[in-house]
Structure 1
Amino acid sequence: MPDEDESDAEGDDLTHVDEAGNVQMVDVGEKPDSQRRAVARGTVRLTESTVEAVRDDEIGKGDVLATARIGAIQAVKHTWETIPMCHQIPITNVETEFDVGEAEVTLSVAVETTGKTGCEMEALEGVTTGLNVVWDMVKAAEKDDDGQYPDTRIDDVRVVSKEKRTPE
């Protein structure tokens, strides 16, 4: 049975489509449990003055990074509710790490599980939601005179590592 996150080597079979072309969830019931870990990372670009205010805890809405950390963890735990073909998996650990640069905040989210399917989508959901929370917390500082965000963007969101260890 192919891994939910692996494509068929021949390219003949789509894992999320039945014979009639209907979208379906992959049956992972027969797969053995394995320890899995995925790490995703992304960056929100901000003005230098906004990053300085984040660093100095001077954003009016409160502690930006603490709030973003909570949002990232919450998103990890609810990924199965927002991505249609994701299985609900037991999250055994979530680690968040912020790197605050001169004009950006980079967030890395590591997710661990022991189960039948991977956790890279959970890591990606944690990163994107965490970065969205940062943006939400700082948007008053980022708006220009026209109410736009010319210097603000989220980019470089990616899975940086994925591991799978089958118990012996």
Structure 2
Amino acid sequence: MKTVDVSAKFDNLRTARAVGRIKLSPETVELIREKRIPKGDVIAAAQIAGIMGAKKTPELMPFCHPIPLDHVEVNLKLGEDFVEAEAEVRGIWRTGYEVEAMNAVMMALLTVYDMCKAFDSSMVIEGVRVVHKSGGKSDWAEDLSGLKAAVVTVSDSAYRKEREDKSGPRAVELLKEFGAEVIGYTVVPDEKEAIKKALESFKEQGANIIVTTGGTGFSPRDVTPEATQELLYKEMVGFSEAMHLLGVRFTPKALMSRAKVGLLSPRCMVVNLPGSTKGVEQNLKMFAPLFKHALKMAAGGGH
């Protein structure tokens, strides 16, 4: 058993809202409304319990991550024969807050039950569910279906067959997993003209996404960014900056990458990735879900 690895996800604002209710007798509702329950103010106590419930979620649920909570709000509403609880939980992190919101609702309703059990033996908690969530991958991620992709490995040693290329084939696998049609894969030496020729060839063949691996460092032979820059129609700086931000989570050496991301035409983008298999995996898993939207924008579509 294990928790989900969220280390390669974006830290971004996420929100979850949950609701639920406890059915009880109209007489008990009136006792709550008139604040005649001996243990105290039921509504106020339930609100506090709900907030504590959200905070304590990872201690109760073994697969929930201990995540920062930036905002928790719990509200209760009295009906004729029920008390309804609503909780909203919000924070900036790599995973969602749905369970925290539901646990807040459950703790609020359980507090109502505990405080009123001496007066009502027929209480039933029901309908606890998430009614809204935002900020997760479902808000912005798209697969690559309908797009054509190609991979260019840039490596003198792999070109001379002195070592096996592993990063290029891994990029091919991942692009296929995201739904792209991979129309080509090639290995070229660390030479500017050879790189440019491969990029232009795949663009002419109709590739919408060209991924390069290798040649992004400081070595005298590392010229992939320079070759790419000479062909760019528009640079996509945000991707390059985000790749650095992601990479340094795993190794400070990511700062030594000079990778470029940009458009070769309104219908074709190129992404420079490091030559390591792990670097290819981390970057494609993070950023590939954004490629289709980026290309839609390049073709004239809106945000």
TM-score (normalised: structure 1): 0.79
Q: Hey, what's the Cα distance between the residues in 2 that align with 1:121 and 1:39?
A: 10
| 2:86 aligned partner | 108
Q: Which amino acid aligns with 1:55?
A: R
Number of the residue aligned with 1:154: 125
SS of the counterpart of 2:70? strand
Query: For residues 117 and 162 of structure 1, what CA distance do their matches in structure 2 show?
Result: 11
Q: Among residues 53, 74, 77, which one is paired with 1:75 in the alignment?
A: 53
Match of residue 216 from structure 2:
none
- Once the two structures are TM-superposed, the CA of residue 99 in structure 1 deviates from its matched residue by 1.2
**Which of 11, 17, 32 is the aligned partner of 2:10?**
32
Paired with 1:165 and 1:24, the residues of 2 have a C-alpha distance of 21
Which runs of no fewer than 5 residues in structure 1 stay unpaired? Answer: 1-22, 143-148
In the TM superposition, what is the alpha-carbon distance from 1:106 to its structure 2 partner? Answer: 0.2
Unaligned runs of 5+ in 2: 138-237, 239-303
In 2, the alpha carbon distance for the partners of 1:131 and 1:121 equals: 15
CA distance in 1 between partners of 2:97 and 2:136 (Å): 13
Q: What amino acid sits opposite 1:84 in the alignment?
A: P
Aligned equivalent of 1:51: 29
CA distance in 2 between partners of 1:69 and 1:157 (Å): 16
TM-score using structure 2 length: 0.44
d(CA) in 1 for partners of 2:49 and 2:22?
15
CA–CA separation in structure 2 for the residues paired with 1:42 and 1:114: 25
How far has the Cα of 1:30 moved from its partner? 1.5
Paired AA for residue 61 in structure 1: K
In the alignment, the residues of structure 2 paired with residue 78 and residue 129 of structure 1 have an alpha-carbon distance, to the nearest angstrom, of: 10
CA distance in 2: counterparts of 1:130 and 1:51, whole angstroms: 15
Larger radius of gyration: 2
Give distance in 1, aligned partners of 2:136 and 2:129: 22
Structure 2 residue aligned with 1:120: 98
User: Is the alpha carbon distance of 1:121 and 1:165 closer, same or farther for their aligned partners in structure 2, counting shifts above 3 Å?
Assistant: closer
1:92 and 2:92 are equivalent in the alignment = no
- Aligned residue for 2:117, secondary structure, equals helix
Q: Distance in 1 between matches of 2:78 and 2:26?
A: 11
* 2: CA distance, partners of 1:154 / 1:26: 30
CA shift in 2, pair 1:165/1:82, >3 Å: closer
Greater RCO, CA 8 A, separation 6+: 1
- Deviation, 1:165, is 6.6
Question: What is the rounded CA distance, in whole Å, between the counterparts of 1:157 and 1:85 in structure 2?
Answer: 20
CA distance in 2, matches of 1:28, 1:127: 25
Please tell me the root mean square deviation across aligned C-alpha atoms, in Å: 1.3
Q: Aligned equivalents of 2:3 and 2:35: distance in 1? A: 44
Q: Which residue in the other structure is 1:164 paired with? A: 135
Q: Secondary structure at the match of 1:71?
A: helix
Contact 2:96 2:136 in 1 (8 A): no
User: Any conservation in 1 of the 2:95–2:136 contact (CA below 8 Å)?
Assistant: no
Percent identity between the two aligned chains: 40
Within 1, Cα distance between the matches of 2:108 and 2:123?
15
In 2: Cα distance, 1:62 partner to 1:164 partner: 38
